[in-house]
Structure 1
Amino acid sequence: MVSWVLSGFADEIDADPAVQLAVLLALGAGHAEVRSAWGVNVVDLDDAQVAQLGSLVARHGMAVSAVASPIGKSDVFADPSVELARLRRVIAVGQRLGARYVRLFSFYRPAGVDVGSIRDIVLARMRAFADVAERESMVLVHENEKDIYGDVPSRVLDLIEGVGSAALRVAWDNANFVQVGVRPFTDGYAMLRPHLEYLQVKDALSDSGGVVPAGAGDGELPETLTALRDDGWTGFASLEPHLADPAFPGVLSGPRRFGEAASAFRSLTSSLGISLAAVS
């Protein structure tokens, strides 16, 4: 049986990292993806908070799969030095937490600006990011997010191949592809599989764009996971449920709905002969 390593966006559970880690452990995950702790984004955590978070992770016998940074979720025409400095900080945080991966994006553009007109700027900025990651022996994983340059498979491919660095790889998100009118497996899998490094797990409905548990939407999760299994892919599968629970305001999912997402994904992977492990 193929085995993948289960992780999850811990701050979708609760703002308190102690609660985040306890719930992830109960769901069989030995890793956490860190986006925020105590309500503070990872890029803004101070050194004392990073040390405290690292101690909590170690105390729970866990590890950090990736730092889910907001880098590149900004205006492509903004001062590039600002985002580069933020990336350096995020990489330092990731290193202190023992993570190898940093999630990032490929920039928004102002209304009315044609996406093709920003290509060279995006590639130059991403190349600068990759240069930093190469020097620090870290891997940047680009998430396909709606309305950024790399929101559809063809532009994700252009970005990865245009930068041409082993330090810039793909974080694949089926739901985000659905939200921009893409059939993820049909339209993008063969194209992006050589660059696919990290799996972010959620699903979505094509008619509304609403996010649903894995396998309950139009994200072609069964086809994607089957192909990854047959290709021999191994790596982190990180739950990012985005399932709002009114009982837990202030977080994206809450523990109950996060558990629902974990259960759906585990059921789907089990039916495909894929096991989800706590460690690699």
Structure 2
Amino acid sequence: MTTTPWQLSGFGDEISPDPEVQVAVLLALGASHVEVRSAWGVNVVDLTDAQVDRLAAVLRGAGLGVSAVASPIGKVDIASDLELELARLRRVIAVATVLGTTNIRVFSFFRGPDVPVASTREAVLRAMSALAAEAAAAGVTLLHENEKDIYGDTPERVHDLVTAVDSPALRLAWDSANFVQVGVARPHDDGFELLARYVDYLQVKDAVAATGEVVPAGRGDGQVAATVRALRDRGYTGFVSLEPHLAQAHALGGFSGPAAFGEAARALADVLRDLGIEAR
């Protein structure tokens, strides 16, 4: 087994809109943290101060830490007003502060229909640099997720993004399934070594290359076990966060329900156990 356990987390709103239910399921699965995307059906960027305080009290009472705030920042068209996105980031930073985490998930912008991705590069880099500067000033870390159809959706463009912005406040959350769904048939083989030095966070779901269907870890083509092994061998001891998307997926997230979330957790546990990794 690894000498230092990895920290097990998961998207609470994949279980239920109700944080009390989220907490109960995560604790039953042995998790020590939750990744917060929404509560009571309200996205983190739209939670009121009173709701944030109430959520923090629920999590604190259960003894659960917050691994990251899974924000929607950057999940808008690159032609949108950047000042509005910076304002939304400031709100998310305030939420993260109350919840006790310095990790904030972000994205690198959609583009309009028929807009070539290469034509958006300079605008994306300017926007991501501005977001990273805001994060650095606040002492938080942005974790870029390789979401489908944003600028950074392939290993090569993710690498371009993180190296061009070149900020310690911009790091990477690795998602194998999303790579598969944009045509990276073997994401570990084709992308991990390129990006490994920038990966600070592991989000776990898998996908079938032929259909794009999201499946539990190890049951698709995402080479999840290979990436987990490589992280272990590099001495990784960070978060491993379940984002199963087994019931439905939509623009701002996904849902699994308690039973399917449990199935995803057991599949991940099998992968980790086979590689001698303890997660809690």
TM-score range, shorter chain: over 0.9
Q: TM-score of the superposition, structure 2-length normalised?
A: 0.96
Q: Is the 8 A contact 1:14 1:251 kept in 2?
A: no
What is the DSSP-based 3-state SS (H/G/I as helix, E as strand, rest coil) of the residue aligned with 2:6?
strand
Change (3 A) 1:157 1:15: same
What 5-or-longer segments of structure 1 have no aligned partner?
A: none
Distance 2:231 2:254 in 1: 31
1:106-136 CA-to-partner distances (Å, cap 9, x unmatched) read 0001111111111110011001101111111
Q: Which runs of 4+ in 1 moved over 3 A?
A: none
Distance 1:159 1:207 in 2: 28
Q: 2:228 aligns with which of 218, 225, 229?
A: 225
Q: Cα offset for 1:139?
A: 0.4
What is the DSSP-based 3-state SS (H/G/I as helix, E as strand, rest coil) of the residue aligned with 2:218?
coil
Q: 1:54 aligns with which of 40, 53, 56?
A: 56
What is the DSSP-based 3-state SS (H/G/I as helix, E as strand, rest coil) of the residue aligned with 2:279?
strand
Distance 1:185 1:12 in 2: 25
Q: Is the 8 A contact 2:245 2:254 kept in 1?
A: no
Q: Is the 8 A contact 2:205 2:243 kept in 1?
A: yes
1:261 and 2:252 aligned: no
Q: 1:238 aligns with which of 241, 249, 256?
A: 241
Distance 1:276 1:222 in 2: 14
Q: Is the 8 A contact 1:13 1:251 kept in 2?
A: no
Q: Residue type of the partner of 2:173?
A: A
Distance 1:268 1:37 in 2: 29
Q: Is the 8 A contact 1:15 1:251 kept in 2?
A: no
Change (3 A) 1:251 1:83: closer
Number of corresponding residues: 273
Matching residue of 2:35: 33
Q: Residue type of the partner of 2:89?
A: L
Distance 1:99 1:266 in 2: 25
Distance 2:202 2:226 in 1: 14
Q: Cα offset for 1:103?
A: 0.2
Q: Cα offset for 1:251?
A: 6.6
Matching residue of 1:112: 114
Distance 1:5 1:251 in 2: 22
Matching residue of 1:273: 276
Matching residue of 1:44: 46
1:48-70 CA-to-partner distances (Å, cap 9, x unmatched) read 00000000000001111100000
Matching residue of 2:129: 127
Q: Give the percent of matched residue pairs that are identical in Structure 1 and Structure 2.
A: 60
What 5-or-longer segments of structure 2 have no aligned partner?
A: none
> Which stretch of the first structure deviates more once superposed, 227-236 or 7-16?
227-236
Distance 1:174 1:251 in 2: 16
Q: Cα offset for 1:232?
A: 0.9
1:213-246 CA-to-partner distances (Å, cap 9, x unmatched) read 000000011111111111111200000001118x
1:4 and 2:16 aligned: no
Q: Is the 8 A contact 1:7 1:237 kept in 2?
A: yes
What is the DSSP-based 3-state SS (H/G/I as helix, E as strand, rest coil) of the residue aligned with 2:255?
coil
Q: Cα offset for 1:181?
A: 0.9
1:201 and 2:192 aligned: no
Change (3 A) 1:159 1:63: same
Distance 2:170 2:66 in 1: 19
Q: TM-score of the superposition, structure 1-length normalised?
A: 0.96
Matching residue of 1:102: 104
1:29-63 CA-to-partner distances (Å, cap 9, x unmatched) read 01000000000000000000000000000000111
Distance 1:136 1:81 in 2: 17
